């Protein structure tokens, strides 16, 4: 019996059956709607997750770019720092070599018969004879008090020998040249009479620059034996060396 015939013959049964059918349809519809809602939620979540994933990928790309740039800058900075360090080391080594070269420059004076050579090397005074070589200064000029030439004990034997006078004069001459080159002339290096030099040194004036100041003449006149004539000689000697 079809539904139309049942509706005519048994309206109550048909109504009940139809109600049950409607309930089934309502439940199916509700279930379908719930599933659709869940699906929509999942789809929205998926879209959100996809959007978040896309944002995270973009952020990761930006960070990767920054990291690569920072890494490149760090490598460049490290390279530049290494270059600066190498240049500094090279400059220090070059300066050391230059100082060594200056210190090692050989200034020599020979006796008339060339049998004795007085040599200044590494800021020390050396003696060369045909059969021997030795040093007569006890310390380098750059380390000696006020750059004074200080002889060692061997000088006594040199003084007593044939070339004693030449050796002493040559040693002092070389020491003076060294001090002039290094801008530290002593009073003894000035073109002054020996008695004036002695009086100045006895009064405590050893370096030429110590008597080159404007107020110094007032102090010098207090020294016994230093009068106007001596002061003129001092001024002339200082001008000769370009110290005033």
Q: Of 19-28, 184-193, 223-232, where does the model show the most confidence? A: 184-193
Q: Where are the domains of the chain?
A: 1-52, 72-104, 106-183, 185-244
* Average model confidence (pLDDT) across the chain: 84
Within 105-227, residue ranges assigned H as helices are 155-160, 164-181, 194-202, 216-220
Write the pLDDT tens digit of every residue in 139-174. Answer: 999 999 999 999 999 999 999 999 999 999 999 999
**Helix axes 228-240 and 194-202, enclosed angle (nearest 10):** 100
> Domain 185-244, CATH 2.40.50 — does that match?
no
Indicate whether this model's pTM tops 0.75: no
Structure tokens at 232: 């003129």
| Contact by Cβ (8 Å): 116, 126 | no
Assign 21 a pLDDT band (cuts: 50, 70, 90): confident
Percent pLDDT > 90 in the chain is 45
């Amino acid at each position: 019996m079809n539904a139309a015939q049942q509706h005519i013959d048994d309206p109550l049964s048909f109504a009940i059956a139809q109600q049950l059918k409607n309930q089934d349809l309502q439940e199916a519809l509700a279930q379908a709607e719930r599933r659709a809602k869940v699906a929509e939620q999942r789809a929205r979540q998926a879209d959100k997750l996809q959007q978040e994933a896309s944002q995270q990928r973009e952020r990761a790309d930006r960070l990767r770019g920054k990291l690569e740039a920072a890494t490149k800058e760090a490598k460049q900075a490290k390279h530049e720092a290494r270059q600066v360090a190498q240049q500094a080391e090279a400059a220090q080594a070059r300066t050391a070599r230059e100082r060594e070269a200056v210190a090692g420059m050989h200034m020599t004076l020979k006796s008339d018969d060339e049998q004795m050579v007085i040599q200044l090397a590494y800021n020390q005074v050396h003696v060369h004879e045909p059969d021997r070589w030795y040093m007569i200064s006890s310390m380098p000029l750059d380390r000696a008090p006020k750059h004074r030439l200080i002889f060692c004990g061997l000088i006594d034997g040199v003084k007593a020998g044939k070339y004693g006078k030449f050796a002493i004069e040559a040693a002092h001459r070389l020491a003076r040249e060294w001090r002039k080159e290094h801008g530290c002339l002593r009073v003894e290096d000035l073109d002054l009479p020996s008695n004036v030099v002695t009086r100045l040194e006895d009064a405590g004036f050893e370096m030429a620059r110590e008597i080159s100041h404007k107020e110094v003449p007032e102090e010098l006149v207090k020294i016994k034996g230093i009068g106007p004539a001596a002061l003129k000689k001092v001024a002339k000697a200082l001008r000769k060396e370009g110290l005033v």
